[in-house]
Structure 1
Amino acid sequence: MTDTAIVLRRAVYPPACVACGAMTESEFALCGPCWREAGFLAGALVCDRCGTPLPGRDVALVLCDDCLRRPRAWSRGRAALPYRGTGRTLALALKHGDRADLARPLGVWLAAAARPLLTGDQVLVPVPLHWGRLLRRRYNQAQLLATEAGRVLNRPVLPDALIRRRSTRALGHGGRDARSRAMADAIAPHPRRGAALRGRAVLLVDDVMTSGATMNACAEAARAAGASDVRVLVLTRALLEP
Structure 2
Amino acid sequence: MAGVFGLAEGEVKTGLRRAARLVLDTLYPPHCLACDAAVLEPGTLCGACWVGAAFQTGLSCDKCAAPLPGDPAEAPVLCDDCLRVARPWSHGRAALLYGGTGRQLVLALKYGDRHDIACPAGRWLARQAAPLCRADTLVLPVPLHRARLFHRRYNQSALLALALARELDRPALPDLLLRTRRTGIQDGLSRAARFENQQGAIAPRPRRARRIEGRHVLLVDDVMTSGATLAAAAEACFAAGADDVDVIVLARVLREE
Q: TM-score, normalised by structure 1?
A: 0.96
Instruction: Verify the 8 A CA contact 2:89 2:231 in the aligned structure 1.
Output: yes
Q: Which residue of 2 aligns with 1:84?
A: 99
Q: Does 1:103 align with 2:103?
A: no
Instruction: Measure how far apart 1:241 and its partner are.
Output: 4.2
2:155 to 129, 137, 140: 140
Instruction: Measure how far apart 1:115 and its partner are.
Output: 1.9
Q: Which residue of 2 aligns with 1:60?
A: 75
Q: What SS does structure 1 have at the residue aligned with 2:68? A: coil
Q: What SS does structure 1 have at the residue aligned with 2:222? A: strand
Q: Which amino acid aligns with 2:122?
A: G
Pairing 1:2-81 to 2, within 5 Å after superposition: 2-41=17-56, 43-57=57-71, 58-81=73-96
Count of residues in Structure 1 that have an aligned counterpart in Structure 2: 241
Residue range with higher mean Cα deviation, 169-178 or 132-141: 169-178
Instruction: Verify the 8 A CA contact 1:211 1:239 in the aligned structure 2.
Output: no
CA distance in 1, matches of 2:214, 2:140: 14
CA distance in 2, matches of 1:50, 1:230: 13
Q: Which residue of 1 aligns with 2:13?
A: none
Q: What SS does structure 2 have at the residue aligned with 1:112? A: helix
CA distance in 2, matches of 1:10, 1:131: 37
Q: Which amino acid aligns with 1:212?
A: G
CA distance in 2, matches of 1:217, 1:55: 29
Q: Which amino acid aligns with 1:65?
A: D
1:199 to 193, 203, 214: 214
Q: Does 1:184 align with 2:207?
A: no
Q: What SS does structure 2 have at the residue aligned with 1:226? A: coil
Instruction: Measure how far apart 1:20 and its partner are.
Output: 1.0
CA distance in 1, matches of 2:69, 2:121: 25
Instruction: Measure how far apart 1:95 and its partner are.
Output: 0.5
Q: TM-score, normalised by structure 2?
A: 0.91
Instruction: Decide whether aligned partners of structure 1 residues 234 and 24 sit closer, same or farther in structure 2, where only a CA change above 3 A counts.
Output: same
Deviations 1:25-84 (A, max 9, x none): 11100001111111111x311111111111111212100111111000101010000010
Q: Which residue of 1 aligns with 2:3?
A: none
Instruction: Determine what percentage of the aligned residue pairs are the same residue.
Output: 54
Instruction: Verify the 8 A CA contact 2:53 2:101 in the aligned structure 1.
Output: yes
Q: Which amino acid aligns with 2:75?
A: A
CA distance in 2, matches of 1:3, 1:216: 43
Instruction: Measure how far apart 1:5 and its partner are.
Output: 3.2
Larger radius of gyration: 2
CA distance in 2, matches of 1:117, 1:185: 26
Structure 1 vs Structure 2 CA RMSD: 1.3
Instruction: Verify the 8 A CA contact 2:137 2:215 in the aligned structure 1.
Output: yes
